[in-house]
Structure 1
Amino acid sequence: MGRTICVVGLGKIGLPLAVQCAGKGHRVLGADTAPLVVRQVNDGQAPFPGEADLPERLKLAVTAGQLTAHSDTSAAVAEADAVLVAVPLLTGEDDQPDFTLLDAATRAVAAGLRPGTLVGYETTLPVGTTAGRLAGLLAEGSGLRPGADFALVFSPERVSSGRVFADLRRYPKLVGGIDERSTRQGVEFYREVLDFDPRPDLPRPNGVWALGSAEAAEFAKLAETTYRDVNIGLANQFARYADRIGVDLAEVIEACNSQPYSHLHQPGVAVGGHCIPVYPRLYLAGDPTATVVEAGRVANLAMPEYAVGRLADALGGLTDRAVLVLGAAYRGGVRETAYSGVFPLVAALRAAGARPYVADPLYDAAELTALGLPPHRGEPVVAAVVQADHAEYRTLGAADLPGVRVLLDGRRVTDPARWAGVRRIVLGA
């Protein structure tokens, strides 16, 4: 007999996870505070585009009666024997964690929590948050004892938008509880709801990996993502040096990575998305003395302004010059603008006196305007900056932007042969 599972937060992580659990034969109650999302899910419609296999699998789960969505989180939790929380933890203007949404969701979970329930957090957290802050809120709101009356685990999502189902199969599921009993129950649960592809390259078999504690699982998620930010920061520093000395960094990186001890990432005009710009700040919230982590963040945050500086040098200034930013999304093929580099790029262009415009094949003019971005409606421009590595930009050329004198390709995605007669700048080349 299957479980009754409540998934709190039906966003880009929570909804695919709910569908995955339903597909394994469990009864799933999705909870979300957005009425429109609840209606769409109950109609079998994905509330957001771009997630592979989600529309089909969601429709099947809803039609089969395995998945229903609810606006009353506490009532849904009261029916469940397992609760998964996938509500995001953001950072505020001071770069510190903003627990407003997560605390509210946790209090709603606590109000419906029953003895014997397993509670798992998938949201990336500062180390110590599960056993400290969240366990306390759950105990306060439910009158139950964490570990004794209900199991509590942290199991970080390790997936990317657009390929969540594939990533759930591909990567080991890390689980750490507030005590041994919680960890054991968490491991058993995830083995029931997930499928795994074989991975011969792993030190132990693919599947659910028990970590020694919730803190270890929290640390693992922050460490793997912070590593990427620091690595990109280093590549961006290398790119700026390569620009000064006239060396092609791509050639250097290829040479370095030809042996197994170098794993240099690629430089870029900006680092965006829900994860890489945010999670180093969550790490620093617990370890503010981590100077290497801070330096990586600083290096990456400086890239949009640096790119605009390169553009200004090439044009002899940007005052009253029209510049097109290609790509509002934070990465190619993903209709998502969270922490996208488009925002600091537009700000830096305006600060330099330019008149910026934005175009993106995934967004229309009205949507760009709603994001606070000036849409390009065919106005002539003298320069363009590639911000997102959309596949469409591989075939873009000078003929598509008459009058463009300079192209700054911040993602190394354009074809040089298509830009004859235009000065093409690549970071680190």
Structure 2
Amino acid sequence: MRICVVALGKIGLPLAVQFARKGHRVIGADVDERVVADVNAGREPFPGEADLDVHLAEAVREGLLTATTDTPAAVAESDAVVVVVPLFVDEAGTPDFGWMDAATRSIAAGLRPGTLVSYETTLPVGTTRERWAPMLAEGSGLTSGTDFHLVFSPERVLTGRVFADLRRYPKLVGGVDEASARHGVEFYEQVLDFDERPDLDRPNGVWDLGSAEAAELAKLAETTYRDVNIGLANQFARYAGSVGVDVMKVIEACNTQPFSHIHRPGIAVGGHCIPVYPRMYLWNDPAATVVAAARDANVAMPAYAVGLLAGTYGDLTGAPVLVLGAAYRGGVKETAFSGVFPTVEALRERGAVPYVSDPMYTPEELEALGLPAHRGEPVTAAIVQADHVEYRDLTPDALPGVKAMVDGRRITDPARWAGVAHTVIGAPDQGGTTR
């Protein structure tokens, strides 16, 4: 097949490479000329994706993958178009369709009869049928379901392990009609491989969910579930800490029962997915009070962690405090919705002088993100915001003068922090104060 992947970001580019590895000819379309140049040179434009550098170079060398800024031309040459353009959502959960609208109009300009269009970007329920189908039809002069086929098929992968996740999880597909769904299933069966999953009630592979709306809801539901679960874990952690109980021992015990799957509590929920998609779900279903309460509980955790620090340190006015980790999770150079931003804000609200360091970022990169980079200034307190492996062996020797530490990710070893008020969210304080 000839396939066009629109948007060569941290999901789109690995997808394009995956399709090329299956022997298909792939054209990646992106508005960023630097990304296009990197891809055509066989260079990964961003770090951190396992095996991407090797597979990308191989696909380009074999002539199976090229990139362009001309989306209509790339679409006109393709049998299938996969769209992975970002959709932004504000704090109220209102989607900003600007980039996706522009991409869809470009796709429509090059759309030919018989082409399959698959949207993988997470969307509010009803968007594929009610927004993209009319826009594609109007821009191309073609009829959805008759002249071209349209499906929604959510990406279900994590950055850093995209190729592994593509094999691990069933590929969900929902069409705007039966013919579209059939073409969507056939397409993904030809471009993906799947691991054996004896734990599934039906074989791993491509699953037709019956409609675009069902597939849209499935992605929102699975991600919103995680946010609600984490919100509940954070509520348990706050209570457990107040009564001197280690919540992780409780969670470990609970999860030995097969119907309990309590997630880990922590200082923040970050990334492109978990903080965003519950808001998108609420945009569709504003009466979902459980979803709203969980989102609010998770949003409150950075300020709660700073409160724990104040409880052991005392008045934070003028105190230099180091926030360890700018990334939203360990091992990933990404700050999307990272807890570092509200943690810094909460410190400033208490009068502290915050600094930020991260083993994956230079001070210049942190400052470009609007963060106060640590350049060796003395600090008297610290908060662990990201669970980078580098923090596992961290000791007070690395932070001379530190008097109090709040570990928001349970990554540091309390035994190494003798003499320091070491607090873990949801556990008795190792320094002697219960939090």
Quick check: TM above 0.5? yes
Matched, 1:148 2:151: no
Q: Paired residue for 2:256?
A: 258
Q: Distance in 2 between matches of 1:416 and 1:409?
A: 9
Correspondence for 2:430: none
What CA deviation, in whole Å up to 9, does each residue of 1:8-66 have, x standing for no partner?
Answer: 00000000000000011111000000000000000000010000000000000001110
Q: Which whole-Å CA distance do the structure 2 matches of 1:114 and 1:428 have between them?
A: 57
| Equivalences for residues 85-104 of structure 1 within 5 A | 85-104=83-102
One-letter amino acid of the structure 1 residue matched with residue 348 of structure 2: R
Per-residue displacement from partner, 1:256-292 (whole Å, max 9, x unpaired)?
A: 1011011000100000000000010111111111000
Deviation by residue 1:133-162 (Cα, 9 ceiling, x = unmatched)? 111111111111111110000000000000
Aligned counterparts, 1:316-331, within 5 A: 316-331=314-329
* 1:342 matched residue in structure 2: 340
1:30: which partner in 2? 28
User: Is 1:183 matched with 2:181?
Assistant: yes
Paired residue for 1:83?
Answer: 81
Cα offset, 1:95, TM superposition: 2.7
Counterpart of 1:114 in structure 2: which amino acid? Answer: R
1:262 aligned counterpart, secondary structure: coil
Q: Which residue of 1 aligns with 2:247?
A: 249
1:198-237 alignment, distance < 5 Å: 198-237=196-235
> d(CA) in 2 for partners of 1:93 and 1:372?
19
Q: Percent sequence identity over matched residues?
A: 72
Higher mean C-alpha deviation, range 325-334 or range 234-243:
234-243
The equivalent position to 2:162 in structure 1, one of 161, 164, 172, is 164
Q: How far apart, CA to CA, are the structure 2 residues paired with 1:106 and 1:352?
A: 46
The two structures, once aligned, show a CA RMSD in angstroms of: 0.7
Alpha-carbon separation, structure 2, partners of 1:196 and 1:94: 37
CA distance, structure 1, for counterparts of residue 92 and residue 251 of structure 2: 35
> What's the counterpart of residue 432 of structure 2?
none
**Aligned length in residues:** 427
Letter in 1 for 2:393: T
Measured in 1, the distance between the counterparts of 2:272 and 2:94 equals 15
Give 1:397's aligned residue. Answer: 395
Partner of 1:41: 39
Using the alignment, how far apart are the partners of 1:40 and 1:207 within structure 2?
A: 32
Aligned equivalents of 1:420, 1:137: Cα separation in 2: 63
TM-score normalised over the length of structure 1: 0.99
Give unmatched runs, 5+ long, in structure 2: 428-435
- Secondary structure of the residue that 2:400 maps to in structure 1? coil
Say if 1:93 and 1:260 are closer, same or farther in 2 by CA, change over 3 A.
Answer: closer
Aligned mates of 2:238, 2:59 — CA distance in 1: 50
What amino acid does structure 1 have at the position aligned with 2:315? Answer: G
Partner amino acid, structure 1, of 2:75: V
Q: TM-score, normalization: structure 2?
A: 0.97
Find the counterpart in structure 1 of residue 431 from structure 2.
none
For 2:246 and 2:334, the matched residues in 1 are separated by: 31
Q: Segments of 4+ in structure 1 off by > 2 A?
A: 92-95
The one of 241, 264, 267 aligned to 2:265: 267
2:92–2:279 contact (8 Å) kept in structure 1? no
How far, CA to CA, are the matches of 1:370 and 1:354 in structure 2? 21
Residue 428 of structure 1 corresponds to 426
Aligned equivalent of 1:304: 302
How far off its partner does 1:93 sit?
A: 4.4
Q: Name the SS of the counterpart of 1:196 in structure 2.
A: coil
Deviations 1:209-241 (A, max 9, x none): 111100000010100000000000001111111
The letter of the residue matching 2:77 is E
How far apart, in 1, do the equivalents of 2:423 and 2:124 lie? 39
3-state SS of 1:283 partner: helix
Q: Paired residue for 1:10? A: 8
Cα distance in 2 for residues equivalent to 1:348 and 1:135: 44
Q: State the 1:242 CA deviation.
A: 1.0
Q: Is the 8 A contact 2:226 2:274 kept in 1?
A: yes
Q: 2: distance between equivalents of 1:228 and 1:373?
A: 28
Amino acid at match of 1:347: E
The one-letter code sitting in structure 2 at the alignment partner of 1:120 is S
Using the TM superposition, give the Cα deviation of residue 90 of structure 1 relative to its aligned residue in structure 2, in angstroms.
1.1
- Residue 120 of structure 1: aligned partner: 118
| Paired amino acid for 2:213 | E
Q: Which amino acid aligns with 1:154?
A: F
Number of the residue aligned with 1:418: 416
Name which of 275, 281, 289 aligns with 1:277.
275
Distance (Å, rounded) in 2 between the aligned partners of 1:102 and 1:408: 41
Q: Is residue 18–residue 192 contact of structure 2 (8 Å, CA) maintained in 1?
A: yes
For the 8 Å contact 2:3–2:80, the answer to whether it is kept is yes
